[in-house]
Amino acid sequence: MQQKISPARSISGSITLPGDKSISHRYAMIASIAEGDSRIRNYSTGADCHSTLDAMRALGVPVEENGTEVTIRGRGLDGLRAPAADLDAGNSGSTIRMLSGILAAQSFPTRIGGDESLSRRPMARIIEPLSRMGANISAREGRFPPLEICGGRLRSIDYTLPVPSAQVKTCVLFAGLYAEGETIVREPVRSRDHTEIALREFGADLRVAAKTIALTGRPTLTGRDLLVPADLSSAAFFVVAALLAPGSRLTIRGVGLNPTRSTLLDFLAGMGAAIRITEVESRNGELAGELLVSSSRVRGGVIEKETTAALIDEIPVLAVLGAASEEGLTIRDAAELRIKETDRISTVAENLHRMGVEAEELPDGLAIPGRQRFHAAELDSFGDHRIAMAFAIAALCADGESLIHGAEAASVSFPEFFETLRSLY
Ligand code: S3P
């Protein structure tokens, strides 16, 4: 599917966005192994989170959907059933990596794979700790999906993550739910902590001190009534659009503001972006609030070290902002970007070049000079949702109508993206 994007004069209005993808996955997985019913409101509309729901159904968990409200009849820690066929994680790295932690503890074997992009994503990062816990996992070439997981009784471990990854942390903690004793995960950099918050919300005994998490195995998890905040990573596209288009005034309601995710807002504010946060409240342990964004001249800067890890999903759209900023943007320490849904360093650079924007590809990042103009162009999502959406925002600033090929990729996290964007200009 192609989308034509014409330039925007301003981006104004008030929007609510679909539920957070990271939180939705976690609530669905934990609710499935909890005792009793959970009701999850504002569940993500993205295809990725539906891959998780379908996998849970295939594992014998009754899951009902009514619009964006999902009811899950939890089967308890030991209540999952052997699936009749291979599990399909689609495009979703979160589904395969996080769910493998649960699959590794089952008494039946499972095979889990996904689409072509997922089949190229590295899995050694979960195979290693799960094998140490006692699971037997084979993978294509030893490290790519599909995975064949022969689980069973697991041992708790004390594990230091070699890469900063909330998916790997979650995988080990989910496996740790099934192991006797205490599982400890040590992070090199504090990654998003939705799993820790959600596990506590469902009743797990979990202690966090700095970058170390300790979880007691075999808890009784209890079904909950949950409300998912809007996805800040989806909001990021509209925030950048409103900053760039002159005369914009945009309100985004009910957005997740978890401090391990909201580095985006601090970073933008530090560059001079006019973003006001109001109506902050806590829901199921997660902060949410309203964002009011007005067009601003942003300075630009450097994204590196821990900041890179904290902004990893927002880098494609920040690269677009960087090209229009006063001083440009340099992104370093972002080698992980090369193993996302696409190699995002090269897909971002390629689309910028197509728009006549200068950007230098570095082994672990990008160097993008500022004060550049975007020219209308034929752009490509390369099958990556965040690339489709980031370049829709770049196209808003171009000197004519641009075309985005493969725009349907946006539905992986945000099926309503183009419709929402059109409602604002
Ligand atoms: C996610 C963690 C990040 C992120 C992904 C979602 C999560 O991946 O890029 O979109 O929900 O835990 P990594 O764990 O690979 O860094």
Q: How far apart are CA 49 and CA 412, in angstroms?
A: 8
- Catalogue the active-site residues: 313
Q: Using most ligand atoms within 8 A of CB, pick from 24, 25, 26, 165 the residue to mutate for ligand 1.
A: 165
Q: Which residues pair with 292 in a beta bridge?
A: 251, 276
- The sheet carrying 110-113 orders its strands as 87-88, 110-113, 144-150, 136-140
Residue 256 tokens, joined: 């997740």
Q: Which residues pair with 379 in a beta bridge?
A: 404
Cα(204) to centroid(ligand 1), Å: 22
Q: How far apart are CA 354 and CA 89, in angstroms?
A: 32
Q: At what angle do helices 93-103 and 124-132 cross, to 10 degrees?
A: 10
21-227 adopts what CATH topology? UDP-n-acetylglucosamine1-carboxyvinyl-transferase; Chain (3.65.10)
- CB atoms near residue 259 (< 10 Å): 12
Q: In the chain, what is the straight-line distance between the N-terminal and C-terminal CA atoms, in Å?
A: 22
Q: How far apart are CA 28 and CA 32, in angstroms?
A: 6
CB of 192 sitting under 6 A from ligand 1: yes
Cis peptide before 229 (omega within 30 of 0): no
Whole-model pTM: value is 0.98
CB of 95 sitting under 6 A from ligand 1: no
Question: Hey, where are the domains in the chain?
Answer: 2-18+229-422, 21-227
pLDDT of residue 43: 98
CB of 311 sitting under 6 A from ligand 1: no
Q: How far apart are CA 27 and CA 221, in angstroms?
A: 12
21-227 and 2-18+229-422 share a CATH fold: yes
Q: How far apart are CA 389 and CA 418, in angstroms?
A: 8
pLDDT of residue 41: 98
pLDDT of residue 95: 98
CB of 99 sitting under 6 A from ligand 1: no
Q: Looking at ligand 1, which atom is closest to the CA of residue 22?
A: 11
| DSSP calls for 348-395 | HHHHHHHTT---EEETTEEEE-SSPPPPP-EEE-TT-HHHHHHHHHHH
- Structure confidence by residue, pLDDT tens digits, 12-48: 999 999 999 999 999 999 999 999 999 999 999 999 9
Q: Largest alpha-carbon pair distance within the chain?
A: 61
CATH of 2-18+229-422, one of 3.90.340.10, 3.65.10.10, 3.40.50.300, 3.90.950.20: 3.65.10.10
Residue 272 tokens, joined: 């001079």
Q: How far apart are CA 388 and CA 408, in angstroms?
A: 8
CB of 166 sitting under 6 A from ligand 1: yes
Q: Is 51 exposed, middle or buried (0-12, 13-18, 19+ CB in 10 A)?
A: buried
pLDDT of residue 66: 98
Kindly give the confidence (pLDDT) of every residue in the chain, 425 residues in length, as a single tens digit, with 9 standing for 90 and above: 999 999 999 999 999 999 999 999 999 999 999 999 999 999 999 999 999 999 999 999 999 999 999 999 999 999 999 999 999 999 999 999 999 999 999 999 999 999 999 999 999 999 999 999 999 999 999 999 999 999 899 999 999 999 999 999 999 999 999 999 999 999 999 999 999 999 999 999 999 999 999 999 999 999 999 999 999 999 999 999 999 999 999 999 999 999 999 999 999 999 999 999 999 999 999 999 999 999 999 999 999 999 999 999 999 999 999 999 999 999 999 999 999 999 999 999 999 999 999 999 999 999 999 999 999 999 999 999 999 999 999 999 999 999 999 999 999 999 999 999 999 99
Cα(154) to centroid(ligand 1), Å: 24
- Structure confidence by residue, pLDDT tens digits, 350-370: 999 999 999 999 999 999 999
CB of 167 sitting under 6 A from ligand 1: yes
Residues 126 and 168 sit within 8 Å (Cβ to Cβ) = yes
pLDDT of residue 243: 98
| DSSP calls for 19-30 | BPHHHHHHHHHH
Cα(335) to centroid(ligand 1), Å: 14
**Which residue's C-alpha comes closest to atom 4 of ligand 1?**
313
